[in-house]
């Protein structure tokens, strides 16, 4: 089951990476069209701002947590006994999971409201708001699950807490 979840995290991070690539292509094409041909891509700004940036910002959060790509402050933990680090990390992950679960619930509620209300962002193209918002509950929900998995691994399965080297803490 954990392998399936990791495949989901990997797939979401690939979608986020692909979104960065699409942003790069669209912004470049817009700049070339604007200055070389006096014909910009009129949809590019809204599509990039309301959709692609949201995807990039939230879909890879869980993958980043799993791979240790988050900022960590190890000022206190390096002085703690090894037997206390696991439960402390489990507690921290549970606390973060609670926060992201609330965020998931609130963002899902907002997404569904805008979908059923038919809200749009007016512009050259009328962009559906819910298609911009739907990525937040997906990313936050998967991160919530990752944090709960981490809490179980640190608190009950004895996963070792590996602190970074002291050089990267300065």
Tell me what pLDDT residue 101 has: 98
The torsion angles phi and psi of 125, rounded to 5 degrees, stand at: -120, 140
Burial of 142 (0-12, 13-18, 19+ CB in 10 A): buried
Tell me what pLDDT residue 36 has: 97
Contact 119, 129 (CB under 8 A): yes
pTM for the whole thing?
A: 0.90
Tell me what pLDDT residue 162 has: 67
Tell me what pLDDT residue 166 has: 42
The torsion angles phi and psi of 128, rounded to 5 degrees, stand at: -65, 130
Tell me what pLDDT residue 160 has: 79
Per residue of the chain (170 residues), give pLDDT as tens: 999 999 999 999 999 999 999 999 999 999 999 999 999 999 999 999 999 999 999 999 999 999 988 887 778 888 889 889 999 999 999 999 999 999 999 999 999 999 999 999 988 899 999 999 999 999 999 999 999 999 999 998 888 776 544 444 43
Q: Which of 41, 46, 30 is CA-nearest to residue 126?
A: 46
CA distance from start to end of the chain = 38
Contact 104, 144 (CB under 8 A): yes
CA angle at 103 for the pair 116 and 136, rounded to the nearest 5°: 60
């Amino acid at each position: 089951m954990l392998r399936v979840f990791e495949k989901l995290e990997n797939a979401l991070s690939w979608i986020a990476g692909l979104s960065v690539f699409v942003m790069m292509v669209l912004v470049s094409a817009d700049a070339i069209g604007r200055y070389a041909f006096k014909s910009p891509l009129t949809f590019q700004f809204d599509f990039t701002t309301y959709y692609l940036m949201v995807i990039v910002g939230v879909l890879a959060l869980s993958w980043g947590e799993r791979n240790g790509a988050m900022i960590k402050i190890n000022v206190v933990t390096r002085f703690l006994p090894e037997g206390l680090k696991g439960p402390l990390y489990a507690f921290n992950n549970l606390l973060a999971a609670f926060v992201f679960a609330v965020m998931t619930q609130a963002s899902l509620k907002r997404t569904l409201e805008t979908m059923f209300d038919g809200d749009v962002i007016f512009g050259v193209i009328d962009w559906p708001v819910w298609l911009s918002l739907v990525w937040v509950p997906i990313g936050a929900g998967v991160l919530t699950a990752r944090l709960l998995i981490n809490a179980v691994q640190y608190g009950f399965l004895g996963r070792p807490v590996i602190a970074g080297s002291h050089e990267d803490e300065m």
